[in-house]
A and B are shown apart, each in its own frame.
Chain A
Amino acid sequence: MANEVKLPRLGQGMESGTIIKWLKAEGDQVEKGEPLYELDTDKVTQEVEAEASGVLLKITVAEGEADVGTTIAVIGEQGEDVSAIEGDVAQPVAEVAEEEGSPGAQREPERERGREATASEQITEIREPAQGNGAGARIKASPLARRIARERGIELGSLKGTGPEGRVVAEDVERAADGAPAQPSAPAPAPPGEVERVPLTSVRRTIARRLTEAWQAPAFQIAMSADMTRAQELHDRLAERVKEGEAKPTVTDILTKACAAALMRHRAVNALWAEDAIELHPNANVGIAVAIESGLVVPVIHQAERLAIAELAAARADIVTRARDNKLRQEDLDGGTFTISNLGMFGVEQFVAVLNPPQAAILAVGAIEAKAVPTETGFESRPLMTLTLTCDHRSLDGATAADFLRTVKAFLEEPGLML
């Protein structure tokens, strides 16, 4: 019996992927476990293995984008008739692809059901930020997972199961409860580009979709400037102590530390909007916006509040390198509770970042510039850096946000306060 190769959902939130190239050709023998094709997702490019052995009878999607669940090829026995199987469009929310346009009038009732399903599900698709086990479908979850979810008030449907056949197991629920939200983080807005008609890559499409979603959040921004004298002094002293081979701490690392420490003091800001609740997370998982060739990516430094500056520097250096080498893993992108976007190196004085949903806030940081600051005796030149905090007004109010930002500023102006 022929085995349909379907585009796999490799990560939560993945709805489609782009087939870059096929590593086997029609008519080739394939073995289960052998690399079959290269797939570009929102985040990474990787080889996908064949899940069955046999002859690659037909490739229905040769290259380009396909939705998750679409049949892209067929593996079977030499001589099997697979003409009925086409590369069809899968329902985005349901796990199983519905066939449309299949030959034979006897399929009409199925097609009708398929069309109805498509119509209803496409409307709900836009609203649902998380890809769960399939909207409305029976959720496969172990008894233990159900109990933990019940006890901790977590919605089973929003979880992706890692057990056999997509079953939600205890670990999946615990991961959600521990502050790893079921979403990949979206990148911060891209720097201004040239006017040129560039076809959308899946990365770009994802950025567009998620930031349009973000725009639905009622956002406000508050701005402050921080005197970076002491932070720069700290940076210089730390840089002196760096040993051969160690990552050199940067001002961004000090900023990350300051934000993590401030997030622990202002727990309301370390929060995610969850439609019917605000989730306060116990750890500051700070995402750092990194510009890479294909666009923007926001890898996360987990539990930043627990890391010493040297460890933060090492973690930051590692993820930035891997981001630029296109070697980020799903776990690097999951779980963020706060994002920092720094355009200072581009000479930007001040800017407003777009929220990274469902996070409550994102901090946009500009370049450190010498500015004249009034003192008792006249004016002095001080290195100032703008901090602009964009907040989701559903999760945060102005006073809370301002308090937080004031703490960040205080930490930057006197790092000793973080101790």
Chain B
Amino acid sequence: MSMPELSYREAVRDALSQAMRQDEDVFIMGEDIAEMGGSMGVTQGMLDEFGPERVRNTPISEMAIVGSGIGAAMQGMRPVVEVMYEDFLTISMEQIVNQAAKHRYMSGGQLKVPLTIRTQGGAGWSPGAQHAQQVEAWFVGVPGLKVVFASTPGDVRGLLWSAIYDDNPVVFFEHRTLYGLKEEVAEEIEPIPIGQARVHRQGEDVTVVATGRLVHESLAAAEEAEQQGVSVEVVDPRTLQPLDEEAIVASVKKTNRCVVAHEAVTRMGFGAEVAAVVQHQAFDWLDAPVERVGAKFTPLPFAPVMEEYVIPHAKDVLAAIQKTVQRDGAS
């Protein structure tokens, strides 16, 4: 069986296209996704294949985009709507939080909202404070929503498929700087269950729980740490809600030390939730406090040098790793 190489961007397109080919209920909506093929090029060529009824441009109104997606979903379709920058989820918050997340519960199950909201974010290219935030943590705390954040082409394809076919509203985060990342993937789409973590690298001394771009930064830090004699296990939860607590806790019980890493600001970031879960369920297994790696607490600067300073990198993950195994006193 041949193993085609797909970029993260192509993997997203592949999941959308294959779902749309086999299932008429699946359609996509968003700003500039039709002729332009999406601001990130994700939906290139899809207008030609599927036509304007199923690849729909929208006005610049995230409230309308999500709202109409909710309506279509409640009517039995499986829409995948796109919010071009996750910073603009803010405009659609009411629809996502008060409507999409609540309808099933408040209707006693009579209404379903099988909506997938795709969005992207990520710094590193001077997009400025309003175009590069990482807001996934906000949605993890909303009962009724599922939140997914994949970090590799294979994962994003398998998880997007599962999100489309999940009967619940899923907020599906992609990372801008990963769109070009290539990986060999299986010929056929292998759906990945929502709520299942992935261990990228086995280790003995410390567990790093990372998401998005920081999965790759953490793997680089782990290589460096290995040279220094510290064996690092890297775990990507992939789904933030529901969280694979079992896998994460099992890993920390093995290594006795934990670092959480994400590009979002450390304060109230997703890492805080993971740290709380870890300290609660693995309290007697912890040999050091849980270290958190995230962006510094500031709006993202525009100047490249400042942006570089604010967002976390492999070296910050490495420093956190070293902190967990640090020794001070003579033995």
Contacts and interface: CB of A to CB of B under 8 A. Distances in A.
B88 interface: no
B258 to A, nearest CB: 12
A142 B287 contact: yes
B328 A330 contact: no
Q: Which residue, of A143, A170, A331, has the highest number of chain B Cβ atoms within 10 A? A: A143
A120 B331 CA distance: 28
Interface string A165-197: 110011110010000000000000000000000
B283 interface: yes
Interface in B271-297: 283-288
Given A144-B256, A170-B256, A163 B284 contact: no
A10 B283 CA distance: 31
Contacts of B285: 143-144, 147
Interface string A331-352: 1000000000000000000000
Interface string B303-331: 00000000000000000000100111111
Q: Which residue, of A144, A166, A175, has the highest number of chain B Cβ atoms within 10 A? A: A144
A160 B331 contact: yes
Contacts of B331: 160, 162, 172, 175, 330-331
Interface majority SS (helix, strand, loop, mixed), chain A: helix
Contacts of A160: 329-331
A281 interface: no
Interface residues of A, number: 23
Interface of A: 9-11, 142-147, 160-166, 169-172, 175, 330-331
Contacts of B330: 9-11, 160, 162, 330
A162 B329 CA distance: 4
A169 B288 contact: yes
A164 B328 contact: yes
Interface residues of B, number: 14
Contact of A142 (B288, B326, B327): B288
A147 B285 CA distance: 8
Contact of B287 (A145, A166, A330): A145
B264 to A, nearest CB: 27
B329 A143 contact: no
Contacts of A164: 323, 326-328
Contacts of A145: 287
A204 B286 CA distance: 42
Nearest to B330: A10
Contact of B328 (A11, A144, A165): A165
A143 B283 contact: yes
In order of increasing CB-CB distance, the 7 nearest A-B pairs are: A147-B284, A144-B287, A142-B287, A162-B327, A162-B331, A162-B329, A170-B287
Interface majority SS (helix, strand, loop, mixed), chain B: loop
Interface of B: 256, 283-288, 323, 326-331
A142 B286 contact: yes
18 contacts: A9-B330, A11-B330, A143-B283, A143-B285, A143-B286, A145-B287, A147-B285, A160-B329, A160-B330, A162-B327, A162-B328, A162-B329, A164-B323, A164-B326, A166-B328, A169-B327, A170-B256, A170-B287
Contacts of A169: 287-288, 327
A144 B329 contact: no
A10 B256 CA distance: 27
Contacts of B287: 142-145, 163, 169-171
A77 B331 CA distance: 33
A87 B285 CA distance: 42
Contact of B326 (A144, A147, A163, A166): A163
Nearest to A10: B330
A166 B283 contact: no
A171 B327 CA distance: 11
A162 B328 CA distance: 6
A169 B284 CA distance: 12
Contact of B284 (A11, A144, A330): A144
Q: Which residue, of A142, A165, A166, A330, has the highest number of chain B Cβ atoms within 10 A? A: A142
B329 A161 contact: yes
Contacts of A10: 330
A346 B327 CA distance: 44
A149 to B, nearest CB: 11
A9 B323 CA distance: 22
A331 B330 CA distance: 10
A304 to B, nearest CB: 21
Contacts of B323: 164
Given A144-B256, A169-B288, 9 more contacts: A144-B285, A145-B287, A146-B284, A147-B284, A147-B285, A162-B327, A163-B287, A163-B329, A169-B327
